[in-house]
Every structure is written in C-alpha cells, then in structure tokens.
Amino acid sequence: MLEVYGVQGLDEHAKGCVLVNNYPIKTVKIFGRVLSSVHKNYDTNGRTNPNNFYIITVDDCSGDVSHINVKIPESCIFELFNEDSLVEIVGHVLFFQDYLRQVIGDRLTVLSIGPDLAVEIECWKLILATRRHLKHPWQYKADVVQRKEPKEPKFSKRDYLHRLEKQKLRIIDPESQVPQVLSVSDSFNMEFIEVTDSDVHESSDEMQLRQTPRLHTFKTDNSSQCDTDIDESSSFPFDEPLIIVLD
C-alpha cells in the first residue's frame, strides 16, 4: 500500500490493508492442512493469560512453497484439531517492522479431522474463482448519465379547466376592439341617440354636458282649454303659453 500510494496510504496501511494486483484487501481466508502447531502459554499461578496464542503451519498444496505460519489467539479457537486436519482460518494481515507481514487469525473452523477429498475439491473451487477474479485489475467506470429533455409538469384536469377560465376572462386592449353602437330613442321627440364605446374616453366637461337635463317645449292646442293657475294677463317670458317637460 505504501509503495503505491505513499503517504496517502498510511491510514489503510495501519488498518492492515494490502494490495493484490490493484485490489485492496483487508480480510483474508486461508484453507489448508495443518502440518504443525505450537502453543504459547503464559499462564501464571493457574490464571489464564489473554496473551496465549497458537502458531499453526498450514499447507494448501498450491506450489513449492505453499505453507504459511498463522498466529491465532487461544481465545479464538473453539474446536480441537490435530495434524492432518483440514482447517479454514479467517483473519487479517498485520505488519511488523513496517514491511514484514504476518497473518493474524480471528476465527478457526475445523472442516475435517483427517483427509477428505470432497472438502478439498469444494475449497479449491472457491480458491480458483478468487484467483481468476484477482488476475485482472479492476478499472473505474464512471456512471453513464443520460441527458434527457426536461419534461413539462403534468397538470390535472382541474388545473386545465382553471386555465381555460382564465383565458376567457383575459382583458383585451379596448383599442383593438370594434366599437359597439347602441341606439337609444327618445319617447318625446323621437330623436335617435347613438352611443359608442369611444364615448368612454370623453373629457369630464363633455360628460357633464351630456348629463345636463334637456328641455322640450310643446305648443298647447288653442282649441282645447287648459285649466291653469297662471294668469294670462301676467307677464310670462314666452310669447305663447308653453308646457315645459323635463327629461
């Protein structure tokens, strides 16, 4: 780890991580036949010392130099074993004197007390599969991100109907509309008054003039007599008697 990553690999080196090809490995599993074992006992006065351990030499028959010494604490061994037993040891790598490596066992499992061809074949299947996997270095492949066009948000039918109502109530520029003409007839003088939309923009003076009441005069019929309180001999602003009608 230090040879490849240098100072940046100190943390992983302290955790017992090793490189096989370019695979970082922290936990190892060893399978083989027990050739010999040495028990280191530090008990004093009948008290069990937690520092007691075994040194087990295991041979997996993988080559000329196929044996390895494994140090395993006494507290991790729960089964009895002897020479020629087939065992499986799971542990980690411990560095001492910086570069020397030693396998420390965390768990020991006895697969067979004596030789067993079927057990060896099953273990070798696993070993060969692991070797084939570690033979080819791994390569980092970034995830392929597909860029898609942003989708328009989905609206419910209620939102769609609400949008249509807004379009119906949308205010349009009054100048772009065709002015509407309304005809109003006067019941007294039978004159037609045209009112258009443009009258809305009239000035306040013109609006005030339009709101002024109009006076209409009608001549009385001389053939018929009218009973009025006005004296004919009195002064009257008109030459002839008139009737004033206020709209």
pLDDT tens for residues 39-87? Answer: 888 888 778 888 888 899 998 877 777 788 888 988 888 888 888 889 9
pLDDT above 60 (res 213)? no
Q: Looking at the structure, do residues 99 and 207 belong to the same domain, yes or no?
A: no
Q: How far apart are the first and last CA of the chain?
A: 110
pLDDT at position 230: 46
What SS3 state is found at 189? coil
Stretch 205-218: mean pLDDT, rounded? 50
Q: Looking at the structure, do residues 129 and 219 belong to the same domain, yes or no?
A: no
Is 0.75 surpassed by the pTM of this model? no
Average per-residue pLDDT for the chain: 71
pLDDT at position 94: 79
Condensed to tens digits (0 to 9), the pLDDT of residues 91-143 reads 888 776 656 678 888 889 999 888 888 888 888 898 889 888 888 888 877 77
Q: Looking at the structure, do residues 122 and 10 belong to the same domain, yes or no?
A: yes
Overall number of domains in the chain: 2
Q: Is the dihedral of CA 37, 109, 89, 11 positive or negative?
A: negative
In the numeric block, the tokens 């060896």 are attached to 120
Stretch 174-188: mean pLDDT, rounded? 54
Q: Looking at the structure, do residues 74 and 11 belong to the same domain, yes or no?
A: yes
What CATH number did the domain enclosing 99 receive? 2.40.50.1040
pLDDT at position 19: 80
R_g of the chain computed on alpha carbons: 56
Kindly state the percentage of the chain with pLDDT values over 70. 59
d(CA 88, CA 108): 6
pLDDT at position 142: 76
115: in domain: yes
pLDDT above 70 (res 196)? no
Q: Looking at the structure, do residues 112 and 189 belong to the same domain, yes or no?
A: no
Q: Looking at the structure, do residues 213 and 111 belong to the same domain, yes or no?
A: no
154: in domain: no
Domain that holds residue 206: 181-226+235-246
113: in domain: yes
When comparing pLDDT for 171 and 39, which is higher?
Answer: 39
114: in domain: yes
Please report which residue ranges of the chain form alpha helices under DSSP H: 2-5, 10-14, 117-135, 157-168, 204-211
Q: Looking at the structure, do residues 117 and 195 belong to the same domain, yes or no?
A: no
76: in domain: yes
pLDDT at position 67: 83
148: in domain: no
Q: Looking at the structure, do residues 188 and 124 belong to the same domain, yes or no?
A: no
